[in-house]
Structure 1
């Protein structure tokens, strides 16, 4: 049986927060005597002195400062328990799982997650990163509630979210950058291409890989960042999402290839889900938030 109640700990913290017993009583709507009694109970139970009166100031003792640090965690945990109870009573999900294709702009994703977390601070969010059909596969298996994917599931299940531009790039010292003319597909075929493997775990032989695949040499990786790193080290060329390499383009670590035709291509990303009406408040808020950010 605990000797000290949460309410007594709250009174102790109120004295510290507001600078004295009288000030605390005005803010927590308790009488000054009841706050004194609460603090005295803590001191008696623990056998320590928590406060000293110096002139008109109420200051913590060394023991009081240590107890404050420890009890702060106790009150935070109690608040979390209350928040979880309220969340459950209102039908708010305790978890949200989202699959996101690795080409989606991270700045927008992190902004959306932060805004959702501010509204629902007790909800645990799990982010699963994927490539190509991997996000929709996780949605189909019900491993996630929401997916951001380059593959649409059709009307009522997918909403167009944004366009991602890709460019064929190399390092400035790569042999392809030394060819003083627009490059043809035949030029590209002679050099190693870095491609990203579809993260779907299905046995479908028609699974896609990211980008043009007709180079005679090809290295296949599982993550977009691996492709970026390899190309940045001069190990080959690749079609990379411009939003993920903007800094490298600006400082000329990577340069676009002058292709004979379009040097850029676009890929649509879709917000996909199985049943919008069946999603909880947190999932729906994420959908609203991410759509709003992408529309800016």
Structure 2
């Protein structure tokens, strides 16, 4: 029977020495003595028969072999951490709370219907909905801050996604806006001369906004409802979800603009579960109810 020569703790110590740039810094970060870290790494090298680190001056550097082994060790320690998290989730059972990231173009009525269907059997689970935009939704997924994400556009890299629907954005303005007199806008340079309303990206690490961004005059707001209120006051133009402005278009409070080559924009919406291993029965139940809103049935074992 195979018996490991090394321990996870030894590999974690080696990772810390490399990540923090030396034994002294790693000892501070791990709240351990420097001598215990030296001993652990020395023992690991002896057990494996491979030199992992070499010290030059006051800093420890990986050897070529150490670099290969350290890279593989990260996968192992990460897997063990995820395994322990999974065991904890199974022990806890039904989740006390769930957080959903909703790209703001996703139809809110469908999400409300799914949450209402979840409520009778929800066992008191609290549900929080975070309205997010563009990379903000992806950021919440990548940082594992939500249980379910309704993402617009391409799903975050490395995550599986279930397509749900497609949202159509159309170009609109107030009837008093000079743009409304144009039967068809032939050149986007003409649009650039007018005030544009755009939606702010909610990501902390990016500075992109939703919409065509060539207009010299631009007002940035947090959501489509604020954008619609500005448009109805007579100012600016904006790309808005078609479903959101159907009443205003029918009443004549807003008018649709037609841009040659880009009369509308269609954005796919995908459902993403950031970590299946972390998903509990409550999250699974709510996910299935959201899928059902789009006629998607999914059998789970």
Question: What is the TM-score with the length of structure 2 in the denominator?
Answer: 0.64
Rg (Cα) greater in structure: 1
Q: Does 1:232 align with 2:232?
A: yes
Out of 104, 107, 118, the position equivalent to 2:106 is: 104
Deviation at 1:195, TM superposition (A): 0.5
SS in 2 for 1:245: helix
Task: Say if 1:250 and 1:276 are closer, same or farther in 2 by CA, change over 3 A.
Answer: farther
Structure 2 residue runs without a partner (length 5+) = 1-89, 297-301
Q: Does the aligned pair in 1 maintain the 2:149–2:274 contact within 8 Å?
A: no
SS of corresponding position for 2:99 = strand
Long gaps (5+) in structure 1: 1-87
The CA deviation at 1:260 is: 1.7
Report what 1:141 is aligned to: 143
Distance 1:90 1:278 in 2: 11
- How far apart in 1 are the matches of 2:214 and 2:264? 17
Q: How does 1:66-215 map to 2 (within 5 A)?
A: 91-150=93-152, 151-154=154-157, 156-202=159-205, 204=206, 207-215=207-215
Distance in 2 separating the partners of 1:217 and 1:90: 53
Tell me whether 133-142 or 192-201 shows the greater mean CA deviation: 133-142
Distance in 2 between the 1:178 and 1:156 partners? 45
Structure 1 residues 96 and 275, CA, compared in 2 at 3 Å: closer, same or farther? Answer: same
Using the TM superposition, give the Cα deviation of residue 136 of structure 1 relative to its aligned residue in structure 2, in angstroms.
2.3
Give the number of equivalent residue pairs: 206
Conserved 8 A contact 1:183-1:257: no
Equivalent in the alignment of 1:287: 287
Question: Shift of residue 222 of structure 1?
Answer: 2.0
CA distance in 2, matches of 1:117, 1:89: 23
Q: Is the 8 A contact 1:256 1:263 kept in 2?
A: no
Note the aligned Cα RMSD (angstroms).
2.1
Q: 1:110 to 1:236 in 2, by over 3 A?
A: same
Aligned residue in 2 for 1:248: 248
